[in-house]
Amino acid sequence: MSALTLKVAVNLVNEAITAGRAICAAPLTIAVLDAGGHLITLQREDGASLLRPQVAIGKAWGAIALGKGSRLLALDAQQRPAFIAALNSLGQGSVVPAPGGVLIRNQDGNVLGAVGISGDLSDVDEQCAITAIEALGLRADAGVVA
């Protein structure tokens, strides 16, 4: 696969919702962006709170913008807060440095896009994104520190 299609993006959302329901997660909002940071699809479960779409998009957008999962962006925010503040200024506030923004890679390692999820604890959001990506035979890159 060389690019994300709408069909794949919708399947990613469905898999993420299924993963969330399997672990009784809070209502989730799932955004799928292409490799250029453009929104392909966004779904908000019933009961998800008001700003969840913006947070989900911000997690995915930050991952795309910097080429690393948002877990590493969260670490950057702790270690280099001025850098993240500058990024948010350049990106007009679009970067959300918290786990839950996961790069989607094909089997060759090329970035196809990102899934961003918001709704539960960031670790749960991230787990649902990883589960969804891997369910479609793609590689999830959450920026996990080894």
Q: In what order do the strands lie in the sheet with 111-118?
A: 39-44, 29-34, 111-118, 101-105, 139-141
What is the per-residue pLDDT for 145?
Answer: 59
What is the per-residue pLDDT for 107?
Answer: 93
CA within 13 Å, CB half, 30: 33
Domains identified in the chain, total number? 1
Asked if pLDDT for residue 18 goes beyond 60, the answer is: yes
Q: Is 64 part of any domain?
A: yes
Range of the domain at 116: 6-141
Q: Is 67 part of any domain?
A: yes
Residues whose CB falls within 8 Å of the CB of residue 23, separated by 6 or more in sequence, listed in order: 124, 127, 128
Beta bridge partners of 101: 116
CATH number for the domain harbouring residue 56: 3.30.450.150
In whole angstroms, what is the distance from residue 110 CA to residue 75 CA? 23
Q: Is 146 part of any domain?
A: no
Q: How many residues does the chain have?
A: 146
DSSP 86: H
pTM of the model: 0.94
What is the per-residue pLDDT for 143?
Answer: 83
